[in-house]
Amino acid sequence: MTTENDSLADRDFLLSLVVPVYFEQECIEQFIAESTSELEKHGLNYEIVFVDDGSRDRTVELIKQAIQTNDRIRLVEFSYNHGKESAVTAGFTYAKGDYLLYMDPDLQDPPDEIMNFVNKIQEGDGYDLVFGVRKEKRDSFLNVLFSKIFWFILEKFTGLDLPRPLAVMRICSRRFADEFLRYGETNRFIEGLFMRVGMKRTQILVSQRERFAGVSKFNFRRKMQLAFKAIFDFSDLPLRMATRFGIVLLAVGVFLACLLVFLRLFVMEFELGWPSLVVIMITGFGIQIFFFGIIGIYVGNIYRESKRRPLFSVRELTNFGETTDA
Ligand code: UDP
Ligand code: MG
């Protein structure tokens, strides 16, 4: 059903919703109901590409059920949990739309915002990327605090000028998606990659709701993991910091040694006992271990990249026709 004055000529494009799901059985039906009704209300030509990131609840079953009655829903199933970054990348790989809209199924970013994204990306001579920025943040105090710290550190380290507070929902053009998919790194911080791909981008405000049901999969530990991933994926500042630190310490050491010799020779007599030795040893070991740690992290990254592992392994594809053999 088409409403208002939405001329169908303007709707002559395919919109792909890319939705990673992981243990989302409580949300999935509501999400499908709300998003399809929104898309159909505006007469959009759409597909919904779900990527199941190895859930072991009823998520997959419920999506397959929905596919029975809605031919526009598709499902990519991972054989095990690969993480959200890989799920989104898989979604981008299999989605065929002229525009790709990435959102979560927990309804925190509500489907009634979809049209705003579609309109925005087509505005003027068109954008390649529209980020969603949260109007208000519906989250616990601690979560808000953690994400404030997270983004602050991230910005300082990476120099990425990400719009904040970033919502999950964002839309991009086919051109952007193709470019994004050329980034082969395994250690991937999606938000950073989105910025790095560049092209013409803008942002809009989106309203927020509470998570419809279920719990967030990103506890404090996973958030911190993400922060480190981002820093070591997008910044060589730790490496440079270590070098600077080393130079400063070396200079201080040389200066103190000279001072000691000078004092002994020209100023006064004093015992150079074991305490100073122990201090020197401890400091020396500390510095060495610190540097080894930093180098280790980067070597680890090189190791992971050099394996050139595929980013995901797909167990099963549902409703993609015979044309998808990506
Ligand atoms: N997710 C995923 N793989 C994971 C963890 C999460 O695909 O290993 C998906 C999850 O289903 C959801 C999205 O990533 O669609 C964001 O997760 P969540 O809503 O739990 O995080 P939050 O919104 O609290 O940051
Ligand atoms: Mg969420």
Instruction: Tell me, yes or no, whether 113 and 207 share the same domain.
Output: yes
Residue 49 lies in a domain: yes
Rounded distance from Cα 3 to ligand 2 centre (Å): 31
Instruction: Tell me, yes or no, whether 40 and 76 share the same domain.
Output: yes
Residue 152 lies in a domain: no
Ligand 1 contact via 105 beta carbon (within 6 Å): yes
For 189, residues 6+ apart whose C-beta sits below 8 A from its C-beta are: 85, 226, 229, 230, 233, 234
Ligand nearest 216 Cα, by number?
A: 1
**How many angstroms separate the CA atoms of 171 and 187, rounded?**
23
Q: Is 214 helix (H, G, I), strand (E, B) or coil?
A: coil
Among residues of the chain, what percentage have pLDDT more than 70?
A: 92
What pLDDT was estimated at residue 322? 63
Query: Into how many domains does the chain fold?
Result: 2
Residue 51 lies in a domain: yes
pTM of the entire predicted model: 0.80
What pLDDT was estimated at residue 274? 61
Residue 8 lies in a domain: no
User: Which range (66-70, 100-104, 273-277) has the least confidence?
Assistant: 273-277
Q: Average pLDDT, whole number, for the chain? A: 84
Ligand 1 contact via 87 beta carbon (within 6 Å): yes
* Rg of the chain in Å (alpha carbons): 26
Would you tell me the crossing angle of helices 237-262 and 220-234 to the nearest 10 degrees? 80
Ligand 1 contact via 91 beta carbon (within 6 Å): no
Token pair in block for residue 216: 């967030």
Is residue 229 a contact partner of residue 304, using CB atoms and an 8 Å limit?
Answer: no
**How many angstroms separate the CA atoms of 317 and 326, rounded?**
11
State the CB neighbour count (10 A cutoff) for residue 284.
12
Full residue range of the structural domain in which residue 319 is found: 14-143+161-218+313-325
Residue 77 lies in a domain: yes
Is residue 227 a contact partner of residue 160, using CB atoms and an 8 Å limit?
Answer: no
At 326, the pLDDT band (50, 70, 90 cuts) reads: very low
Instruction: Tell me, yes or no, whether 176 and 242 share the same domain.
Output: no
- Rounded mean pLDDT of 136-141? 72
Residue 289 lies in a domain: yes
Among residues of the chain, what percentage have pLDDT more than 90?
A: 42
For 3, residues 6+ apart whose C-beta sits below 8 A from its C-beta are: 41, 42, 43
